[in-house]
Amino acid sequence: MYPLTLATVVLMVISFTLWAPKKLSANSALQNTSSVCDQAAQHASHLINVPLRVLKAVTRTETGRTLHNEFLPWPWTVNSAGTGVWFQNEFEALQYIRNEIQRGERSLDIGCFQINFHWHGDHFDTLEEMINPEKNAQYAARFLKTLYQESGDWTTAVGKFHSRTARHSENYLSRYSEIFASLDYQANDPASATIRVNSFPFLQRTSERPAMGSLVPRTAGTGTSLFDRSVSGN
């Protein structure tokens, strides 16, 4: 083995110095982007008086991905007719959304809380506003609060947020409950509702046609949500 010369050592140090900041910068950028949904959730929680723990659990259930051994939400997530994609940035996500709309697709779930374009797009002035984490979170919080007022239970509200159809809510609530339980409890957060799964009146199967009202309404033939694919391993 040949001894290292001074020139070789200098080159190695320079190479590491040039490489390391890029590596750290990329990791930092990912971390910063993944925190955007939580920051928006915190603002929406204070503004609309919805438990922060509930909002953080919902955004993870909807868009969560594992980054550096941590399960975090992602703001530039789009689900088109059952096919979900995590984009690197807002520009790429908006470009994809516009292309999908241009080809006639309207079943698009957008942003931190996967708000459905077909059912709720009219409540936003632009696509940029709809995917904006702050606007996205505030709309989701207002909708969740309306659903909470129907039952007085946040878990029931979350189930309806996803779907009023039992078969679509059951797995979703199970996953949501796991994520909710994994989040740190904050004494000043009113998220004290007991997590219960598959025990709500709206989840009981009936012969009546389910009423629409979810941010992500699911019916036969519309595909599966990003959440459904994640639990199946796809």
Mean pLDDT (whole number) for 184-204: 47
One-letter identity of residue 148:
Y
d(CA 202, CA 121): 25
For the CA atoms of 187, 193, 196, 201, what is the dihedral angle to 10 degrees?
-170
pTM above 0.85, yes or no: no
Q: Of 81, 36, 56, 31, nearest to 140 (Cα)?
A: 56
Greater confidence (29 vs 168) lies with 168
Given this model, what pLDDT does residue 51 score? 97
Whether residue 110 contacts residue 136, with contact meaning beta carbons closer than 8 Å, is answered with yes
Q: Facing residues of 72 across strands?
A: 65
Average per-residue pLDDT in the chain?
A: 77
- What is 132-176 written as a DSSP string? -HHHHHHHHHHHHHHHHHHHS-HHHHHHHHH-SSHHHHHHHHHHH
Mean pLDDT (whole number) for 6-11: 47
Q: Facing residues of 108 across strands?
A: 80
219 has a pLDDT exceeding 70: no
16 has a pLDDT exceeding 70: no
203 has a pLDDT exceeding 60: no
Q: pLDDT category, 8, cuts 50, 70, 90?
A: very low
Whether residue 52 contacts residue 39, with contact meaning beta carbons closer than 8 Å, is answered with no
Percent of the chain with pLDDT over 70: 66
HSE at residue 209, side-chain half, CA atoms within 13 A, is 3
Using DSSP, state whether 42 is helix, strand or coil: helix
Domain parsing of the chain, residue ranges? 34-232
Question: 23-71: per-residue pLDDT in tens?
Answer: 434 556 666 888 999 999 999 999 999 999 999 999 999 999 998 889 9
Pairing of strands 70-72, 108-110: unpaired
Q: pLDDT category, 170, cuts 50, 70, 90?
A: confident
